[in-house]
């Protein structure tokens, strides 16, 4: 069943829902619903319905894990650019948005932490790709362009591995992850990248280092509570480093720190600051991001350096980088590193802590990529690699690019991980030009 309406700029949006198996290995078992939103630009509609019907489809796979599709009030940026030539399908990946929800309420209803972890196995990239294929079949689309941002790029690599027949082109931005190797390897790179990004930020805004140190000192001496009542610790404060992943978001960090204290005496943190920190570090709207984050790197032991479990990789690897310790004199801000404390102290995640432990201990993950298929890939593919990306390291991205036959790399140092938010039209024009067929 579909429903259509318009955005304020005249873009037509149409709802699509498809029923899929929770476990694709048991197609007759429990079913869930996956939702997608179709966008047709006003300019295309002005050409008439026959023109619209001739437009090719593009599936967008957003970042995450656990992120729902974009909800724009009107088409802008990369969506406006692609809307000239495509009908855009925005997928709410399983468990997110208007798809059958996966959250602390639905997850805890599954029983023990072990049962919950077993349930979470069904929400990785391999299942997301199968859902997309079910939607494509339901819509009667012969093949489509798949565009993956960040974790969506990981999913696109999985798509190229197992369902390439459903694709006529693959576009990836900031999402060429490693194909082999343990999760530790990712964090050994990203801690170095984030340290450099910290240095860059504090060189640009030296007063931010002074303010951050003052906030850290205040947290060490006082029991500080966010407005939701949860404790603000140094480790939780370090999650503000997620803002360093983007160009403009780093400015957001600066403005946030400007209002940290009530006055020059720096004896009390402001509610303005505490509200902003709570908003940036809470996982209330996206619990899967924290609970499942390291599972996106989970591979069979033979593909992961002999170790199947991720085993809280970010926490363990942090011990190799003393400057990120919460006890350091001037602790650095983190990037996409989820630590035990982040789950334990977040009111939404705390009921899922034992589940997160179970996920970290899983040592028999199914493979996410088919190395042989990628080596003989025939789908036109291009990827934007950001030289200074702190979330998806350039070195690992280029290594992966070498293993995907025919993949064209557009490397640029003009953007960080959120490049498509800065100048999505230019980036997408470049990728499309590299995948013409």
- Model confidence pLDDT, tens digit, residues 31-53: 999 999 999 999 999 999 999 99
SS3 call for 400: helix
Please state the rounded mean pLDDT for residues 189-199: 97
**Mean pLDDT taken over the chain:** 96
Active site residue 309: no
Which member of 127, 182, 417, 418 is catalytic?
417
* Strand ranges (E), 72-218: 87-92, 144-149, 167-173
By 3-state DSSP, what share of the chain in percent is helix, strand and coil, each rounded to 5?
A: 45, 15, 40
Higher per-residue pLDDT: 250 or 388:
388
Alpha carbons 9 and 225: distance in angstroms, whole number: 42
Which member of 106, 364, 413, 433 is catalytic?
364
Whether 208 and 255 have beta carbons less than 8 Å apart is answered as: no
CATH class belonging to 4-179+369-433: alpha beta
Question: What pLDDT score was predicted for residue 2?
Answer: 66
For residue 224, give both structure tokens.
């500080």
Percentage, residues of the chain above pLDDT 90: 95
Confidence band for 247, pLDDT divided at 50, 70 and 90? confident
Alpha carbons 302 and 316: distance in angstroms, whole number: 21
Question: What pLDDT score was predicted for residue 352?
Answer: 95
Parse the chain into domains and list their residue ranges.
4-179+369-433, 183-361
115 contact partners, CB below 8 Å, separation of at least 6: none
Query: What does the DSSP 8-state code read for residue 23?
Result: S
Reply yes or no on whether the pLDDT at 15 is more than 90.
Answer: yes
For residue 116, give both structure tokens.
């919950």
Angstrom distances, CA of residue 130 to CA of 31, 65, 160, 365: 13, 16, 12, 17
Alpha carbons 327 and 21: distance in angstroms, whole number: 47
Confidence band for 304, pLDDT divided at 50, 70 and 90? very high
Question: What pLDDT score was predicted for residue 72?
Answer: 94
For residue 312, give both structure tokens.
């809280």
Please state the rounded mean pLDDT for residues 202-219: 97
SS3 call for 17: strand
Question: What pLDDT score was predicted for residue 3?
Answer: 72
Which member of 150, 161, 282, 309 is catalytic?
150
Residue range 260-278, pLDDT digits in tens: 999 888 999 999 999 999 9
Active site residue 364: yes
Query: What does the DSSP 8-state code read for residue 222?
Result: S
Alpha carbons 360 and 380: distance in angstroms, whole number: 35
Question: What pLDDT score was predicted for residue 250?
Answer: 83
Confidence band for 437, pLDDT divided at 50, 70 and 90? confident
Residue range 367-406, pLDDT digits in tens: 999 999 999 999 999 999 999 999 999 999 999 999 999 9
Active site residue 342: no
Whether 70 and 90 have beta carbons less than 8 Å apart is answered as: yes
Residue that is written with structure tokens 């369902």 in the block: 163
Please state the rounded mean pLDDT for residues 401-417: 97
Alpha carbons 432 and 171: distance in angstroms, whole number: 8
Please state the rounded mean pLDDT for residues 145-160: 98
Question: What pLDDT score was predicted for residue 421?
Answer: 93
Percentage, residues of the chain above pLDDT 70: 99
């Amino acid at each position: 069943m579909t429903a259509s309406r318009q955005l304020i700029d005249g873009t037509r949006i149409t709802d699509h829902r498809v029923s899929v198996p929770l476990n694709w290995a048991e197609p007759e078992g429990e079913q869930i619903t996956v939702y997608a939103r179709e966008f047709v630009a006003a300019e295309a509609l002005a050409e008439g319905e026959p023109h619209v019907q001739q437009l090719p489809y593009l599936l967008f796979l957003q970042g995450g894990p656990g992120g729902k599709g974009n909800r724009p009030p009107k088409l802008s940026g990369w969506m406006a650019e692609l809307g000239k030539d495509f009908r855009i399908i925005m997928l709410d990946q399983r468990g997110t948005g208007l798809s059958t929800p996966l959250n602390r309420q639905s997850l805890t209803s599954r029983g023990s932490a072990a049962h919950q972890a077993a349930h979470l196995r069904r929400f990785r990239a391999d299942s997301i790709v199968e859902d997309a294929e079910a939607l494509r079949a339901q819509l009667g689309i012969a093949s489509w362009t798949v565009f993956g941002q960040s974790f969506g790029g990981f999913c696109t690599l999985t798509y190229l591995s197992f369902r390439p027949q459903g694709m006529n082109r693959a576009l990836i931005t900031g999402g060429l992850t490693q194909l082999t190797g343990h999760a530790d390897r990712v964090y050994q790179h990203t801690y170095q990248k984030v340290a450099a990004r910290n240095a860059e930020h504090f060189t640009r805004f030296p007063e931010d280092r002074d303010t951050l140190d003052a906030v850290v000192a205040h947290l060490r001496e006082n029991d500080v509570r966010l407005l939701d009542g949860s404790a603000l610790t140094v480790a939780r404060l370090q999650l503000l480093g997620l803002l360093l992943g983007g160009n403009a978001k780093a400015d957001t960090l600066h403005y946030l720190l400007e209002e940290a204290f009530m006055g020059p005496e720096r004896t009390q943190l402001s509610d303005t600051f505490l509200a902003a920190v709570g908003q940036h570090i809470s996982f209330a709207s996206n619990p899967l991001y924290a609970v499942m984050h390291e599972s996106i790197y989970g591979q069979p032991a033979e593909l992961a350096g002999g170790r199947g479990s991720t085993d809280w990789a970010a926490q363990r690897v942090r011990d190799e980088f003393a400057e990120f310790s919460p006890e350091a004199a001037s602790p650095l801000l983190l990037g996409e590193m989820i630590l035990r404390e982040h789950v334990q102290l977040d009111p939404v995640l705390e009921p899922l802590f034992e589940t997160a432990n179970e996920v970290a201990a899983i040592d028999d993950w199914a493979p996410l990529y088919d190395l042989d298929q990628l080596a003989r890939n025939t789908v036109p593919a291009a990827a934007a690699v950001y030289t200074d990306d702190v979330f998806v390291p350039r070195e690992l991205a280029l290594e992966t690019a070498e293993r995907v036959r025919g993949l064209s790399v557009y490397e640029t140092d003009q953007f960080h991980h959120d490049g498509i938010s800065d100048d999505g039209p230019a980036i997408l024009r470049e990728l499309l030009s590299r995948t013409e067929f």
